Structure 1
Amino acid sequence: MADTLSRAARSENMRRIRAKDTVPELAVRRALHRMGLRFRLHASELPGKPDLVLRRHQAVVLIHGCFWHQHRRCVDGHVPKTNLSYWQAKLERNVLRDRRNRRKLAQLGFRVLVIWECEAQHPAVLEKKLRRFFPPPEPGAP
């Protein structure tokens, strides 16, 4: 049996997708708070309006949905079979925009960490990735 939705059901699914305060974003925010790190949300003055900005660390964290940003190592990072020309073009534009924004952020001196939706679902994986990017300060460091 095919896994297809009616136009109305597909439209309803897409309408409910949020850009802010998503489950993966909230998981990353909680993990950073547990690590004692503070951040600013969705800084509109920076390229791509990064999800989290940690100016003290000169870093940004981007939380990408596996489908919308085409995570190649994830089952959700595939192009739908229906309306292929529309989705291919749209998702490719997203990937190109992401690359352009990461490059601009790096040019501004920011370190950029991308957290994928599938990584945020696994607390141990998420914490390990965050701790590698934000190591604890050396004793006696300011």
Structure 2
Amino acid sequence: MSYDRSAVMRAVKSRDTGAERAVRALLRAIAPGYRLNRADLPGKPDIVYGRRRLAIFVHGCFWHGHDCARGARMPKTNADYWRAKIARNRARDERTLALLAAMGWRTLVVYECELKSLDSLTMKLKRALVLVERT
């Protein structure tokens, strides 16, 4: 890996990303009172409503292999490495969601491309929160 690529990779944040901050801003208006990055839960969810047992993950489309235009884009250099890396990320995500479900937690995954339609994303968040309140 070249120095330039290493510098770019070091700059990638794992928490408090722009997408996370945007989702949290929507949630503050809907239902404040969440916690961030609970290390005691599998996958260390980005946003957690403890009493509602709802874990929300905010995923970057590229890093988690989402089926949108950005997620389908593959780097031209070292393509085998990136294909394997993203496949491992997807497998880890599936394991994490299964572990949380086995513990009785509900999960919601928000991909960064969903931020293009804030109205639609707001409705998705409201549905998840209302569904949890009813159970």
TM-score scaled to structure 2, two decimals? Answer: 0.89
Higher helix share: 2
Q: Percent identity?
A: 43
Matched, 1:25 2:20: yes
Instruction: After TM superposition, list the pairs within 5 Å mapping 1:72-91 onto structure 2.
Output: 72=67, 74-78=68-72, 79-91=74-86
CA distance in 2, matches of 1:63, 1:24: 7
Alignment partner, residue 100 of structure 1: 95
- Cα distance, 1:8 vs structure 2: 4.3
Cα distance change of structure 1 residues 121 and 26 upon mapping to structure 2, 3 Å threshold: farther
Q: What runs of 5+ residues in structure 2 fail to find an aligned partner?
A: none
Matched, 1:118 2:113: yes
CA distance in 1, matches of 2:57, 2:30: 17
Equivalent pair of 1:32/1:38 in contact (CA under 8 Å): no
Letter of the 2:69 counterpart: V
Equivalent pair of 1:24/1:121 in contact (CA under 8 Å): no
Alignment partner, residue 4 of structure 1: none
Superposition RMSD on alpha carbons, in Å? 2.2
Equivalent pair of 1:42/1:50 in contact (CA under 8 Å): yes
Larger Rg: 1
For the residue of structure 2 that corresponds to 1:56, the secondary structure is coil
- Cα distance, 1:11 vs structure 2: 3.2
Q: What runs of 5+ residues in structure 1 fail to find an aligned partner?
A: 1-6
For the residue of structure 1 that corresponds to 2:69, the secondary structure is coil
CA distance in 2, matches of 1:132, 1:36: 12
Equivalent pair of 1:24/1:117 in contact (CA under 8 Å): yes
- Cα distance, 1:25 vs structure 2: 0.3
CA distance in 2, matches of 1:85, 1:36: 42
- Cα distance, 1:10 vs structure 2: 3.3
Equivalent pair of 2:56/2:110 in contact (CA under 8 Å): yes
Letter of the 1:13 counterpart: V
Letter of the 2:118 counterpart: P
Indicate the larger mover: 95-104 or 80-89: 80-89
